[in-house]
Structure 1
Amino acid sequence: MTDSSIGTPEQLRDPNYTPPLAKAIPLGIQHVLAMFVSNVTPAIIIAGAAGIAFGPGADPEARIYLLQMAMMFAGVATLIQTIGIGPVGARLPIVQGTSFAFLPVMIPAMIGAGTAGLAGLMTGVVIGGLFHAFLGLFVGRIRFALPPLVTGLIVLMIGLALIKVGIEYAAGGAGDFNRGKETWGGVSNWFQAGVVLFVTLGLKFFTRGMLSVSAVLLGLIAGYVVAYLMGDVNLAGISDAAVFALPEPFKFGFEINWAIIIGMCLMAFISAIETVGDVSGITKGGAGREATDAEVTGATFADGFGTAIAGVFGSLPNTSFSQNVGLIAMTGVMSRHVVTIGALFLIFCGLVPKIGAIINTIPIQVLGGGVIVMFGMVAAAGASMLSDVKWNSRNMVIFATALSVGLGLQQVPDAMVFLGDTARILLTSGLLPAAFIAIGLNLILPEHFGDEADDEVSGSVKGIKENSRKA
């Protein structure tokens, strides 16, 4: 339901309409609240995987910088989408943010043999972003190869791959360093994570409007307060952080690592299709129409170039945020200028290291309580997409084979020890082999393969039910 004081129904469906600033600013901040936690979480996870968050190699300054850049370049990428530069940008209210989709590929590359390091990671992000932008030239032509069976499986796999990280964080952190702590898996860690879960779910289901939209953020704040009262928050680093700082190009260096580059390029296909879906969701939910080819192409260009620019300055891949698509449908406000205001707020946050330093003080177990919900929602979104699939024997075999191989390689990475570092890192992510198997089998197997057998089974079951009713 929308507020009539914001504008007429026709104005609210117009992306170029600017609501009164008194309404536009809170609406823009609401978009930031909806995506803020999801946007900075990948940076925290990669900092841990890179060894700069905990242990002997910890580097609080580098971790704070990653958090700054996550905020700043989410804002920059969003501006590219909303304002546009020539053919780049959909000029729609699309909120960009750091993508979870790339984590199952990035984490093994950061912690496995032949690790990339942040220099190799950021170089891969730049090259992968440019490849992603290139996909904008023909993204519409490859959609046929990615039906709900494939895209739903991939999104489900992303969520399943990350759920382990959420549990490890709630227990006290991921990695051998954290597992070596006496407090790992302790009651206090799980209590603080539980507070976040309890408050998040309570606000999500028993409140409306701004409180419901920012449920995860408010849940983290509640967990943070509890952790502070329990003596688990260290505020020492906030005073040392600068008040203002500009981003540095190639702060972590430049290094070619083929595992990361190939992984980023392959995942660009998935991210591009996700963006196409989000663009369609925005135009349908906010304006009641289909997205134009120019909007789809422009959004894909912006995704890629936004990611490439982010990589240059030490940030992670960006993509459109689905939770903000739902927010537009809920508020009924289609204005791209509202999202532009949110983007400017994100850029401001990225220029102030003290904000990153405050985020850096969040205890890992508190963050774990939030990411359990977020990663579970990613898996649930994949399951929702799979509900559109016709579950005949053909599709069940495709799904079963891809899921078994993907999850199996994730759980037993040593099974590919005979391969070189690059191939092993890509395959043991689980996500890429699952995607290849699903796409390949879906293209090779006849569309109606097994339908006759399915009809016979269905008829037999129906006959048994009818006989049971007669009896």
Structure 2
Amino acid sequence: MNSSDSAPSDMIYPLDSKPPFMEATFAAIQHVLASFVGIITPTLIIGGVLGLGEHIPYLISMSLMVSGVGTFIQARRPAGIGAGMICVQGTSFAFLGTILAAGFIAKGQGGGPDEMLSLIFGVCFLGAFIEMFLSQLMHKLSKVITPLVTGIVITIIGISLIKVGMTDLAGGFNATDFGSWQNLSLGLFVLVLIIALNQSRNQWIRLTSIVSGLVAGFIISGFLGKLDFSHLSSLPLISVPVPFKYGFSFDWAAFVPIALIYVITTIESTGDITANCLISKQPIEGDSYLKRVKGGVLADGLNSAIAAIFNTFPNTTFSQNNGVIQLTGIASRHVGLFIAVVLMVLGLFPVIGGILQQIPKPVLGGATLVMFGTVAAAGVKILANEDLDRRKMLIMAVSFGVGLGVSMVPNVLDVTPKVIQNIFGSPVTTGGLMAIVLNLLMPEEHRATEPVLSKA
């Protein structure tokens, strides 16, 4: 027998394969569970800060529904729009500061929730065309967005997400019982269970490792009294999408910062799509790679425009779902269609999303922590494939230092204008821009044969 035949494969279902219905369904559920909180959390934050009150449930429903539509576009790739992979779309955290600033501009002019949302969705809709335009220049940006740059960006994305996963494992932001032994034990239990199940040679057990870990943690949470379903009765039965329900307005002061963030998300999406290519065993250079990135970034922009039309915030490709692909061994883009259906159903029937929303933060943290670490490892793998000379090492050092520095010392920009804080307060933005600028300004080394130093 050939030894390669007996060796376990890391990829159970490759990109263009069609998994059976049950396997595809379980894989889709795991992707949804990995991204659910990330999709709805920005809406919860924006709604809370701007005082949107009764509008929040509808906005959450729209965020889930549009995420489903965007994920379908990325996977199905209609008319060449989309990456043709499992690129789960979700509400972007990168826009939080600029969206809040736009809301306060409308509020400062005496506007209420309708006026704030009208301005936010108006500038977000127009800004999306910037990302769509940049997507058509991807073939000319190969000298700007190199494997070195994308490797740095992906690594920073993973490292910055790890903080979110660990915070959730301990109980979540501002939790009164943050770091309690109960939270830590629950999160670590889920983490260890997922790792143990993922090591199984049984493909079915491996396929359901994340779902099993979350379900087990959810059940234990019920016995610990951490579940509360009293709010479900207040949720509407069905949410109906209404284009530009809150109107459409524009303001340059709100538009410019958001436009700049769309430029940055082009870089972030390129990094996420590159990581997806790497994990899905697809090329990360050449014509097919550029075509995939071009279609994926174009879909990102289009999906953000659709999001604004249907009353939710800009979308982007979620990086945590790359970790699900890595753990399950399922890269089939047909699973993306299943994910899309699940997300749209969640958006149509808010009560389902309300139940999933009750998954305690420590349970989610235990599951997402390993996924976020996988994203960072994917970035490291790209960098490891580079010929790391002194120039590239210096670019990496400065990009990591400055990018992660603003994350570790968030008040470093407190005395700068709000626009600067909004743009450079993100480690991904700062590190990514630093990598691009240094890569352009620092000349390539013309390497000559270096003399070998004799050992004493």
TM range, normalised to the smaller chain? Answer: 0.7 to 0.9
Cα distance change, pair 424–381 in 1 and its aligned pair in 2 (3 A) = same
> What does 1:158-197 correspond to in 2, within 5 Å?
158-174=157-173, 178=174, 181=176, 183-197=177-191
CA-CA distance at 1:443 after TM superposition: 1.7
Quick check: 160-169 or 340-349, which moved more?
Answer: 340-349
> What does 1:109-258 correspond to in 2, within 5 Å?
119=117, 125-174=124-173, 178=174, 181=176, 183-206=177-200, 208-250=202-244, 257=254, 258=256
- Name 1:322's counterpart in structure 2: 322
Measure, in 1, the Cα distance between the counterparts of 2:102 and 2:338: 43
Query: What secondary structure does 2:359 align onto?
Result: coil
Cα distance change, pair 269–95 in 1 and its aligned pair in 2 (3 A) = closer
Measure, in 1, the Cα distance between the counterparts of 2:101 and 2:271: 28
Letter in 2 for 1:96: V
8 Å CA contact 2:194–2:213 kept in 1: the answer is yes
8 Å CA contact 2:275–2:379 kept in 1: the answer is no
Q: Deviations over 1:328-373 (max 9, x none)?
A: 9x568x6x65643443343223211111111121222322222322
CA-CA distance at 1:231 after TM superposition: 0.5
Quick check: 192-201 or 223-232, which moved more?
Answer: 192-201
Cα distance change, pair 172–109 in 1 and its aligned pair in 2 (3 A) = farther
- Name 2:445's counterpart in structure 1: 448
Q: Deviations over 1:163-208 (max 9, x none)?
A: 222222222221xxx25x2x22211111221222122212222354
Letter in 2 for 1:184: F
8 Å CA contact 2:218–2:359 kept in 1: the answer is yes
- Name 1:265's counterpart in structure 2: 263
Letter in 2 for 1:392: D
Letter in 1 for 2:146: P
Q: How many residues align?
A: 425
Unaligned runs of 5+ in 2: 1-12, 108-115
Query: What secondary structure does 1:442 align onto?
Result: helix
Cα distance change, pair 398–231 in 1 and its aligned pair in 2 (3 A) = same
CA RMSD between the two structures: 3.8
* 1:381 lines up with 2:378 in the alignment: yes
- Name 1:38's counterpart in structure 2: 34
Quick check: 259-268 or 65-74, which moved more?
Answer: 65-74
Unaligned runs of 5+ in 1: 1-11
Query: What secondary structure does 2:143 align onto?
Result: helix
Measure, in 2, the Cα distance between the counterparts of 1:152 and 1:275: 11
Q: Deviations over 1:24-50 (max 9, x none)?
A: 433432441342123213234424543
Letter in 1 for 2:179: G
Query: What secondary structure does 1:52 align onto?
Result: helix
TM-score, normalising length: structure 2: 0.78
- Name 2:65's counterpart in structure 1: 72
Q: 1:421 aligns with which of 411, 418, 423?
A: 418
CA-CA distance at 1:88 after TM superposition: 3.0
TM-score, normalising length: structure 1: 0.76
CA-CA distance at 1:217 after TM superposition: 3.0
Letter in 1 for 2:299: A
CA-CA distance at 1:393 after TM superposition: 1.4
Query: What secondary structure does 2:297 align onto?
Result: helix
* 1:301 lines up with 2:298 in the alignment: yes
Quick check: 377-386 or 113-122, which moved more?
Answer: 113-122
What fraction of aligned residue pairs are identical, expressed as a percent? 26
Measure, in 1, the Cα distance between the counterparts of 2:429 and 2:51: 30
Measure, in 2, the Cα distance between the counterparts of 1:160 and 1:95: 20
Measure, in 1, the Cα distance between the counterparts of 2:169 and 2:360: 10
CA-CA distance at 1:326 after TM superposition: 5.6
Query: What secondary structure does 1:206 align onto?
Result: coil
CA-CA distance at 1:302 after TM superposition: 2.3
Cα distance change, pair 73–207 in 1 and its aligned pair in 2 (3 A) = farther
8 Å CA contact 1:152–1:382 kept in 2: the answer is yes
Letter in 1 for 2:346: C
